[in-house]
Amino acid sequence: MINSFEVLQDDVSKRLDVFLLEKFPEFSRSHIKGLIEKGLVLVSGKIVKAGQSLKLGQKIEIQVVEAEKISTEADETVEFEIVFQDSDLIVVNKPQGLVVHPCSSTKSGTLVNGLLAKIKDLSGINGELRPGIVHRLDKDTSGLMVVAKNDFAHINLAEQIKNKTCKRCYLALIDGNLKDNEGRIETYLKRDSKDRKKISVQESGRIAITDYKVLQRFEKTCLVEFSLQTGRTHQIRVHSKFLGHPVVGDKTYGKEVKGLEGQLLHAYRISFVHPRTNKEVAFEVQMPSYMQEYIDKQKKNLV
């Protein structure tokens, strides 16, 4: 069903997504944004962005597609490790293949569904689909995440991530060998206009900074420690590709590797100031067995 609206004087300068939310209060902001990104919304016959400012007399056409039902029910079958827990926060070790929160492509069986089965209270700042989620890891990236149990902890931890006092370090096996043993990658990242599932280096994007250090070199790969100075979507994966050495097994920015389910990227260390005690805490976990086994095979061919 296609609905049509005309921009009246009271609507002038409103963002397109805000205008549509007022017309369809039963829809979430993310659903409205999804319709716009899919080209199901036209402004005077053209596809525009969600933040487009409206002008008097413009005709807006929207092909209404109902939002698919997404589950926020507890799911005891979701497996993950709780590394630490107190009254304010949880540190979890997310396995590869587990999506962090429900979305249009994964409606249930996520880390959030698993957390709801094990944890009585989670911060409500991010709404019912992302309770307690302060930061995320990609589906096929394993490792440590901190989750907030209350809004006090959530606000504090989010501020630390913004101010870079929450430190996150990753281990990655990348294709080929880097020229330098250590360095810094500094680019601007933005969602790719040709493929919305990808992030690319663009001057109009947001600043992204990653430090790296080569830990071990092999004949065709090398093991690298990456430290995030900013936290952009797919940051390490895009920066690895930018260097010409994508993460091994990365189906999006590199190539699929037989026997691997996804990229060999693991968030092995996280440190931050505890919101309640104001003392720095740090947690580390070993890389998953499949990653260690693949690296062990590389050791037969040391550089």
Once rounded to an integer, what is the mean pLDDT over residues 287-297? 96
Q: Which of 11, 17, 88, 138 is catalytic?
A: 138
Predicted confidence at residue 182, as pLDDT, reads: 97
Predicted confidence at residue 9, as pLDDT, reads: 93
Beta bridge partners of 169: 227, 269
Predicted confidence at residue 68, as pLDDT, reads: 56
Task: Specify the 3-state DSSP secondary structure of 270.
Answer: strand
Predicted confidence at residue 70, as pLDDT, reads: 62
Q: Would you say residue 280 has pLDDT above 90?
A: yes
Predicted confidence at residue 41, as pLDDT, reads: 92
Mean of the per-residue pLDDT values for the chain?
A: 92
Predicted confidence at residue 71, as pLDDT, reads: 65
Q: For residue range 102-139, list pLDDT tens digits in order.
A: 876 777 899 999 999 999 889 988 777 789 999 999 99
What's the rounded Cα separation, in Å, for the pair 86 and 84? 7
Annotated catalytic residue 138:
yes
> What is the helix (H) or strand (E) element at residue 19, kind and residue range?
helix 16-23
What's the rounded Cα separation, in Å, for the pair 253 and 200? 10
Predicted confidence at residue 120, as pLDDT, reads: 85
Return the number of other C-beta atoms located less than 10 Å from residue 217's C-beta: 15
Predicted confidence at residue 303, as pLDDT, reads: 64
pTM: 0.78
Q: Would you say residue 15 has pLDDT above 80?
A: yes
Residues 6+ apart with CB under 8 A from 58: 6, 7, 43, 44
Once rounded to an integer, what is the mean pLDDT over residues 11-31? 87
Distances (CA, A) of 63 to 3, 23, 43, 105: 6, 13, 12, 20
Cβ proximity of 111 and 99 under 8 Å: yes
Beta bridge partners of 191: 199
Q: For residue range 140-173, list pLDDT tens digits in order.
A: 999 999 999 999 999 999 999 989 899 999 999 9
240 burial type by CB count under 10 A (0-12 exposed, 13-18 middle, 19+ buried): buried
Q: For residue range 216-271, list pLDDT tens digits in order.
A: 999 999 999 999 999 999 999 999 999 999 999 999 999 999 999 999 999 999 99
Per-range mean pLDDT, top range of 17-21, 194-198, 248-252: 248-252
- pLDDT > 70 in the chain, percent: 97
Beta bridge partners of 46: 43
Q: For residue range 182-194, list pLDDT tens digits in order.
A: 999 999 999 887 8
Which domains occur in the chain, in start order?
2-63 (3.10.290.10), 68-163 (3.30.2350.10), 166-285+294-303 (3.30.2350.10)
Residues 6+ apart with CB under 8 A from 250: 237, 240, 241, 262, 263, 265
Per-range mean pLDDT, top range of 10-19, 58-67, 80-89: 80-89
Predicted confidence at residue 90, as pLDDT, reads: 97
Predicted confidence at residue 274, as pLDDT, reads: 98
Residues 6+ apart with CB under 8 A from 153: 88, 89, 123, 275, 276
